[in-house]
């Protein structure tokens, strides 16, 4: 049995669409109760556990870091500890926000980490907790997730385009948009590999080619046949409570080398999402 923490999030939704899994929502498995989550694993004795749940409200985390720390660090640490006890693999989704966002080179798994906001700090603490648990694990860092469900950039842009014919969008933040469907497929493949004895470790998985948020927006409107003019602006013109990394590029070579998994084709993934939304 594949046990997934998370039920309504973007990746958890796609996991349920792609495989026969047991997905637990917050009503059953509340990550604000780490030991309760660990007890569920001990009781169900799954063959592999995937944590697709997290505290993802990046700006809110600036004033609620203690709660984000419980959900993003203590909970996965407790889950991984339960998996270590059962000797089953634990897969955990992490983020490019563990880096400081400097430079222009794509981040590798061995680059120094230096999160610049509360969300990044709590996700980094989660990685450390999983590593310290002794569980056989994979930490999968990804970025700029989108799908036909949940709250994400694609759906926001499409909603705004219904009443606007011009938008200002940040163009100095660069990364790889990543379809949730591709993340789910990657996690399922990695779960199988881990069950077959793969070593695991930390890996990066994101979309290709790299682009800016403004470039992403233009592609959304092109594919959706929406006549919207996108003007690129610097991040300084769009201040947020939590600072965003300018460089969210992730080097995915290690994942390709170890497992034969290539970066996601986000433009193809976007076409599938727009079709599903009926745009």
3-state SS, residue 101: coil
| CA separation for the pair 175, 7 (Å, rounded) | 26
With a pLDDT cut of 70, the percent of the chain lying above it is: 100
Element (H, E) at 24: strand 22-24
Domain 2-151+177-208+249-264 belongs to what architecture?
A: 3-Layer(aba) Sandwich (3.40)
Strand partners, 93: 140
| CA separation for the pair 212, 218 (Å, rounded) | 10
- What is the per-residue pLDDT for 148? 97
At 99-135, the pLDDT tens digits run 999 999 999 999 999 999 999 999 999 999 999 999 9
- What is the per-residue pLDDT for 267? 98
| CA separation for the pair 92, 84 (Å, rounded) | 14
Two tokens, residue 51: 């944590």
Domain segments of the chain: what residues?
2-151+177-208+249-264
203 as an active site residue: the answer is no
At 149-178, the pLDDT tens digits run 999 999 999 999 999 999 999 999 999 999
Element (H, E) at 160: helix 153-161
- What is the per-residue pLDDT for 18? 97
Omega cis (within 30) before 209: yes
Angle at the Cα of 174 (from 167 to 243), degrees rounded to 5?
80
3-state SS, residue 164: coil
At 31-53, the pLDDT tens digits run 999 999 999 999 999 999 999 99
| CA separation for the pair 33, 90 (Å, rounded) | 18
Active-site annotation holder among 119, 203, 205, 238: 119
Angle at the Cα of 137 (from 135 to 140), degrees rounded to 5?
150
Two tokens, residue 153: 């950039």
- What is the per-residue pLDDT for 269? 98
pLDDT, average across residues 198-224: 97
Angle at the Cα of 250 (from 6 to 212), degrees rounded to 5?
95
| CA separation for the pair 88, 138 (Å, rounded) | 12
């Amino acid at each position: 049995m594949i046990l997934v923490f998370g039920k309504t999030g973007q990746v958890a939704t796609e996991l349920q669409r792609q495989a026969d899994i047991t997905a637990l929502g917050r009503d059953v498995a509340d990550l604000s109760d780490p030991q309760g989550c660990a007890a569920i694993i001990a009781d169900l004795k799954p063959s592999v556990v995937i944590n697709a749940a997290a505290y993802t409200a990046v700006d809110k985390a600036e004033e609620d870091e203690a709660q984000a720390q419980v959900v993003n660090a203590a909970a996965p640490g407790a889950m991984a500890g339960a998996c270590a006890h059962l000797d089953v693999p634990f897969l955990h989704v992490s983020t490019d926000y563990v880096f400081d966002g400097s430079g222009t080179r794509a981040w590798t798994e061995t680059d120094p980490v230096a999160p610049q906001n509360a969300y990044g700090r709590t996700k980094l603490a989660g990685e450390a907790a999983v590593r310290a648990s002794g569980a056989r694990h994979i930490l999968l860092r990804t970025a700029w997730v989108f799908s036909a469900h949940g709250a994400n950039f694609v759906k926001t842009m499409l909603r705004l385009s219904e009443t606007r014919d011009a938008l200002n969008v940040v163009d100095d933040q660069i990364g790889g948009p990543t379809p949730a469907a591709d993340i789910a497929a990657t996690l399922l493949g990695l779960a199988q590999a881990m069950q077959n004895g793969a070593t695991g470790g930390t890996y990066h998985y994101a979309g290709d080619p790299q682009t800016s948020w403004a470039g992403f927006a233009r592609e959304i409107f092109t594919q959706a046949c929406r006549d919207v003019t996108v003007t690129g602006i610097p991040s300084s013109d769009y201040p947020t409570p939590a600072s965003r990394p300018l460089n969210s590029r992730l080097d995915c070579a290690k994942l390709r080398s170890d497992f034969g998994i290539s970066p996601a084709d986000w433009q193809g993934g976007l076409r599938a999402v727009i079709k599903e939304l009926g745009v």
